[in-house]
C-alpha cells in the first residue's frame, strides 16, 4: 500500500512539474509575443516608406543605371521583401486569428501554395494528381503548405526531389511533404517546433511554430520524421 502511494505521489509531482514548466513557457512566449508585436508594428511604417521609394524607380530609370547600381537596387529590394516577411512572421506569431473553415478542393489550395515556392533549377517537385475536398481555412492552409514546401526546397541546396502525397483514413485527410535532402540532425528534431529555433542564417525561427499552431487550430496535427525528411499534416474530415 505504501509503495503504491509513493508511486502515485511521484506521478503527481511529475505532472505538477510538467504543467508548471508548460505554464512558465506559455507565459514567457506570451511576453515575447507582446514585445515582438510592438517592435514589428514600429518597424512596419518606415519599411513601407522604403518599399514605396524603391518601387518609384521605373523601368525607364533603371535602364539608365549601370549594372553595379542595378545590382545594388535589386539587393535592396530583396532585403526589403525579407524584412517584410520577417515582420509578418512575428505578427502572425503574436496574434490569434479566427479560423474560417469552408469546403475547398485541396488541389486549389496546393496550386496557390506553389505560387509562393522559390524554385531551383535542379529541384523537381512531384505533386499528387488526386483531389479531395477538405473543410478548412484555405488561406491559412495555403500558408502552411508554402512554408513546408519552401523549407523542403531549401534543404536540397539546388539538387533533389520534393514529393507531396495525400491520403485519407477514417478521421483525417493526410498530407505528407518529403524531400531527398540530407535530413534533419537528430538533436534538432525535438527542437524544430520551438519558437526562435532555426538553423538558417536568416529568418525568425517562427515559421514552423506558426504552421503547427494553424494546423492545431483546425483540430489536426503537424509532425516530422527523418530518412527521408517528411512533414505530415493531418486535418479532420
Domains of the chain (ranges, CATH numbers): 2-94 (1.10.287), 102-236 (3.30.565.10)
Given a cut of 70, whether residue 172 has pLDDT beyond it is yes
Residue ranges of the alpha helices (H) in the chain? 2-55, 59-63, 67-94, 106-114, 138-155, 186-189, 207-217
Could you give the CA distance from residue 171 to residue 237 in angstroms, rounded to a whole number? 6
Contacts of residue 5, defined as CB under 8 A and 6 or more positions apart, other chains included, come to none
The pTM assigned to this predicted structure is: 0.67
Could you give the CA distance from residue 76 to residue 52 in angstroms, rounded to a whole number? 12
Selection from 85, 153, 152, 144 nearest residue 109 by Cα: 144
Given a cut of 60, whether residue 24 has pLDDT beyond it is no
Could you give the CA distance from residue 197 to residue 204 in angstroms, rounded to a whole number? 8
Given a cut of 90, whether residue 166 has pLDDT beyond it is yes
Mean pLDDT across 26-43: 62
User: Which band of pLDDT confidence, cut at 50, 70 and 90, is reported for residue 209?
Assistant: confident
Amino acid at each position: 500500500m505504501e509503495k503504491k502511494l509513493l508511486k502515485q505521489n511521484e506521478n503527481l509531482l511529475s505532472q505538477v512539474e510538467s504543467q508548471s514548466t508548460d505554464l512558465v513557457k506559455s507565459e514567457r512566449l506570451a511576453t515575447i509575443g507582446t514585445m515582438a508585436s510592438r517592435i514589428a508594428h514600429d518597424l512596419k511604417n518606415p519599411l513601407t516608406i522604403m518599399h514605396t521609394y524603391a518601387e518609384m524607380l521605373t523601368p525607364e530609370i533603371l535602364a539608365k543605371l549601370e549594372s553595379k547600381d542595378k545590382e545594388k537596387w535589386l539587393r535592396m529590394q530583396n532585403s526589403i521583401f525579407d524584412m517584410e516577411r520577417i515582420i509578418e512572421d512575428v505578427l502572425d506569431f503574436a496574434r490569434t486569428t479566427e479560423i474560417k473553415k469552408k469546403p475547398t478542393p485541396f488541389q486549389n489550395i496546393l496550386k496557390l501554395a506553389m505560387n509562393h515556392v522559390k524554385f531551383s533549377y535542379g529541384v523537381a517537385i512531384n505533386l499528387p494528381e488526386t483531389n479531395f475536398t477538405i473543410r478548412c481555412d484555405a488561406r491559412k492552409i495555403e500558408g502552411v503548405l508554402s512554408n513546408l514546401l519552401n523549407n523542403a526546397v531549401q534543404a536540397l541546396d539546388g539538387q533533389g526531389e520534393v514529393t507531396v502525397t495525400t491520403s485519407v483514413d477514417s478521421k483525417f485527410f493526410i498530407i505528407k511533404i518529403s524531400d531527398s535532402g540530407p535530413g534533419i540532425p537528430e538533436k534538432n528534431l525535438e527542437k524544430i517546433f520551438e519558437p526562435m529555433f532555426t538553423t538558417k542564417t536568416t529568418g525568425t525561427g517562427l515559421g514552423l511554430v506558426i504552421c503547427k499552431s494553424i494546423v492545431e487550430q483546425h483540430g489536426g496535427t503537424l509532425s516530422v520524421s527523418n530518412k527521408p525528411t517528411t512533414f505530415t499534416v493531418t486535418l479532420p474530415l
